[in-house]
Structures are given as C-alpha cells and as structure tokens.
C-alpha cells in the first residue's frame, strides 16, 4: 500500500509587496473559521476598509524579514521540513507540503498525492496546539476536497501534537540551551492569540497552550520564572490575555530587565516571530527600560524536529 504524508502550514505571500500580500490576506481574513462575524457584515469591512490599506502595511513588515537568499522564511523552512522528512522516511512514503492560504494549496497537494497512487495518507497540520482557526480550517479544506470524491484514501489527520513528549522535550531543550548561555530574569512563552469568544464556544486552544507551558516548566532546570502570554491581536474583540505587547512594555518597571522569549505555537519562523516578536516587541521592551531581549528561533530545519514529525507518522 503506497503511503503519503502531507505537511500543512498557514501560508505566505509570494513576495513582500502589497500586490502579493492582498490576495493572501483576502483568503486568510475571508476564512469563516478565522473571522466568525457573519459574512454579510464582515466581507464589506474586509473588502472596503481592510484590504485597501493593510496589504501595504504588511508588505513593509515582510520586507524586513524577507531573505535575499530564499525569500519567505516560512516557505523556506516548510519546504526543508518536507524534504528532510522524505529523507528520514525513505522511499516507502511520498511527502508533500501545502498551505491553507497560498500556493501550493491543500487541494493541489491532495490531487498530487492522489495522482501518485497514495492509498494511506497522514496529514500533519504544523500547529502543535489545536485551534478552530488553524487545524479546524485545515479539516474544512480536506473535507471540501473529498466531498463526493470517487475515491477517498485511508486518512489519518493529526489534530495537534502539543502533548507529545518528544515535542516538549525538544522545545524545553532549545530553551535550556539559551538559559545555560545567558542570564535572564524571565522566560516569556508567547502563543498566538484567539478571541475569547472562540474559547468560550469550545475551542481547546488556551487549555493546550497552558498544558504546553506546564510541560516545559517541569522539563527545565532553572529558577528563572516562566510566564505565558498571547500575541497578534486583531480587531476590536476581546482576545486571550495577558497580551504579549502590553506585558513586555511593563516588565522593566517591575525589575525584569533581561527576557527570553519563546513562541511554542510556531514550528517555522514567520512574520509573527521575526517581526512582531523580534522587532516590534523588542522595541517595546527596550524603549521602556529593558536591557536584553532574546527570541528563541523556531524549530525551522532542525533535524530533531523532523524526527518528531517522523515519529508522528510512524505513530511512535
């Protein structure tokens, strides 16, 4: 039986320009899993108020993280993760990757694997913690592709891996390396946020984030305090708190001058880690009296993370 693996991440614009960012944002912010406001209300706001201005603002930020060598960091590292996983699994598997909001789209990758004769498919959304906004959206795309399809392979969809020991071990290891090299007053674990209403409706994301933080705490050998926050608030709705940006602004006044920041919800560096955390929040911290601010890089192309993905595929 031919087996396949599909890695899925959020996506990225093809270039750091407003023209490239606009269709990406339209797909992302037009997803009813991401924005649950009724379409009749939200789509005019999106098309008339957000898309005329926000793409240029986002493009300016993308230009600051865009690599002259390989372009989008997220695209670069996602492809490397897929290539490395293919090598680790060998010829018995066919590994592909896709994005929810940019090319290659999920439907395109599923068609590619179908044409290759894959009969058993493991799908791994690259989000350790489940949220309706991420893994839920991925499942919608998968269901749309296979709805009334003439053939549906044996499917195994991984709905998060935050509770896995190998994921937590690797995350804690990367933090411990930094703690052993420098002195810190605080470890700040910054997760991507979601609106409070989503959690109240049953999204388990905040519980899984807390479980991740707790799992890291028991693995670290340090007396440095660990704090959990949420970043990337969008719109007027109430989001999970405490907010990362407001937190880092106030830390120096509390005597916290040296901070190590970790982003456990991301497995590849992207705009949220390289710019929002390492540029914007660094400035907030330093402008308010901070002295040292370090962001731990995501797993990216670390073979140890690829080994975690391999273990997921092999159900180890």
Predicted confidence (pLDDT) per residue in 163-199, tens digit: 999 999 999 999 999 999 999 999 999 999 999 999 9
Residue 291 has pLDDT above 90, yes or no: yes
**C-alpha–C-alpha distance, residues 294 and 179, integer Å:** 11
Q: What is the average pLDDT value for the chain, to the nearest integer? A: 97
Please report which confidence band the pLDDT of residue 275 belongs to, taking 50, 70 and 90 as the band edges: very high
d(Cα 5, Cα 125) in Å, to the nearest integer? 11
Structure token pair of residue 282: 């660094």
Q: How far is CA 272 from CA 50, 89, 96, 172, 195, in A?
A: 19, 30, 24, 20, 17
Spell 87-116 as b/e; 16+ CB within 10 A means b.
Answer: ebbeeebbbbbbbbbbeebbeebbebbbee
| Residue 272 in this model has a pLDDT that exceeds 90 | yes
The two beta strands, 93-99 and 120-125, are unpaired
CB neighbour list of residue 68: distance below 8 Å, 6 or more residues apart: none
Neighbours of 49 (CB within 10 A): 10
Over range 102-106, report the average pLDDT.
Answer: 98
- Does the pLDDT of residue 316 top 90, yes or no? no
Is it the case that residue 235 has pLDDT exceeding 90?
no
Q: b/e for 132-149, b at 16 or more Cβ within 10 A?
A: bbbbbbbbbbbeebbeee
Collapsed DSSP state (helix, strand, coil) of residue 43: helix
**Is the predicted pLDDT of residue 94 greater than 90, yes or no?**
yes
The answer to whether the CB of 9 falls within 8 A of the CB of 126 is: yes
pLDDT at 63: 98
* Mean pLDDT, rounded, for 58-72: 97
Q: Residue 228 pLDDT more than 90?
A: yes
127-167, pLDDT tens digit by residue?
999 999 999 999 999 999 999 999 999 999 999 999 999 99
- Residue 1: per-residue pLDDT: 84
Mean pLDDT of the 18-43 span:
97
Distance CA 203, CA 130 (A): 8
Claim: this prediction has a pTM higher than 0.75: yes
Average pLDDT of the segment spanning 217-235: 97
Q: What percent of the chain has pLDDT over 90?
A: 99
């Amino acid at each position: 039986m031919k087996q396949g693996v599909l890695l899925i991440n959020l996506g990225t614009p093809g270039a750091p320009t407003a023209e490239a960012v606009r269709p990406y944002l339209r797909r992302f912010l037009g997803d009813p899993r991401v924005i649950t406001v009724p379409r009749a209300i939200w789509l005019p706001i999106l098309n008339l108020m957000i898309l005329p201005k926000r793409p240029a603002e986002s493009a300016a930020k993308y230009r600051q993280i865009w690599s002259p060598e390989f372009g989008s960091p997220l695209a670069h590292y996602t492809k490397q993760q897929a290539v490395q996983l293919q090598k680790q699994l060998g010829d018995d598997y066919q590994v592909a990757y896709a994005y929810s909001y940019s090319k290659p789209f999920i439907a395109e990758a599923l068609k590619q694997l179908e044409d290759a004769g894959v009969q058993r498919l493991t799908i791994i959304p690259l989000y350790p913690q489940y949220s309706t906004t991420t893994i839920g959206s991925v499942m919608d795309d998968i269901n749309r592709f296979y709805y009334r399809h003439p053939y549906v392979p044996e499917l195994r969809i991984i709905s998060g891996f935050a509770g896995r020991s190998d994921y937590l071990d690797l995350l804690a290891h990367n933090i411990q390396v930094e703690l052993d090299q420098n002195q810190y007053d605080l470890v700040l674990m910054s997760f991507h946020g979601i609106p409070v209403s989503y959690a109240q409706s049953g999204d388990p994301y905040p519980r899984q984030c807390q479980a991740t933080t707790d799992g890291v705490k028991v693995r670290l050998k340090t007396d440095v305090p660990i704090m959990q926050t949420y970043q990337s608030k969008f719109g007027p709705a109430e989001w999970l708190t405490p907010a990362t940006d407001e937190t880092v602004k106030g830390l120096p006044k509390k005597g916290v001058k040296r901070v190590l920041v970790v982003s456990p919800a991301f497995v590849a560096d992207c705009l949220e880690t390289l710019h929002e955390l390492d540029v914007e929040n660094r400035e907030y911290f330093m402008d308010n009296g901070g002295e040292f601010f370090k962001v731990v890089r995501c797993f990216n192309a670390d073979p140890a993370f690829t080994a975690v993905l391999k273990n997921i595929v092999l159900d180890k």
